[in-house]
Structure 1
Amino acid sequence: MQKPTAISRRVEQSALSAQNNDFEASLLHLFPAIDKTAQLRYPKDKVGPRFKKFLHDQHDIVSLIAFNNVINITHSGMTFPDAIYKLARNPLIHESELDKRITFNNECGLEISENHWNLPKSYILGLCIAVVVAPENRREWINHSLSCRLWGCEYRINQLWARPDLIYDALRQQTSLQR
């Protein structure tokens, strides 16, 4: 039997770390999976541009999972993809810790100010799912039976690989139930 690739191993470890509220470890595992997926999508681009392009491409999914709505914010010239790259990915990869200007917790919800971005824990789940549903990852799978609950529906991670349609279907179903 074929072993899971680096992408699926990193997603699995990211999810497990996030479950334990270890957000730095979760992101440390997740960022290489994002970059590898972005490299598959944009093979000619360098790390920064492809990473941010991928996050921009997947922003609707990340935002829907994180905030239950698509939120596009530019603050002080920074979009969500810019903030994740500049305040989270680069400092974590190059300096071994997140920039002090970004935090992830559920106590404050979404807060963006001149000197601080606070995102909910669900933003990390959104990033994980964005990697999982990317079409480039259609051959990925994980060994464990990890699952996530989105809008009242339970999904096994292995059923979500390269299936963004399942996310949008679940959202449409949730939206029609709320009417």
Structure 2
Amino acid sequence: MVKSSAARPNDVTFVSILSACSHAGLLLQGIEIFHMMVNDYGLHPGSEHYGIVVDLLGRTGELEKAMDIINRMPVPVEPLVWGALLAACRIHHNVEIGEVAAKNLLCLDSNHAGYYILLSNMYGVDGKWGNLAKIRSLIKEKGLKKMIGQSMIEIRNEVHSFVADDKLHPECEKIYELVGQLEVILKLQLQHI
């Protein structure tokens, strides 16, 4: 990150940078940037920043360190932080820490179907079929439904909402045409890498 620029990064800038580090698996760089945010720029990390650091540590299998970060957070631990940890526990087969994350998640929001599904998937990956069945039964008992993924964008003070395979947007033909063009461009670019 260039520090000599006249423009000062803000907390949103660091959310973007940390997220990029997480998705690229750049553990050391992400931790360094997190410390830079606090020490060099005097910004106070929020739950979203901590959630990304937990995600970063989780993606690289550093679940105990992620748990340590959570235990030392000076801000309230929001569901996105516990959700990042639970997702990492599923990937890295750590049921013990995953159950701690799930317990905290469900205390914060017991009606979010996605958390139960993530927990049941963790049990399935680990072959704990009895636990998986209990969670799936609980989902049915509570009448929970998984929400579909949705993206939103604001253009000229008008909010546009999108879901996968959405054909209801008034300009869906133009949108899918543009997406198709972008796919072609990306495929051509990948051939040259």
**Structure with the bigger percentage of helix:** 2
With CA pairs under 8 Å and 6+ residues apart, which has the higher RCO, 1 or 2? 1
TM-score bracket for the superposition, by shorter chain length:
under 0.3
Larger Rg computed on CA atoms: 2
**Structure with the bigger percentage of strand:** 1
Structure 1-normalised TM-score?
0.28
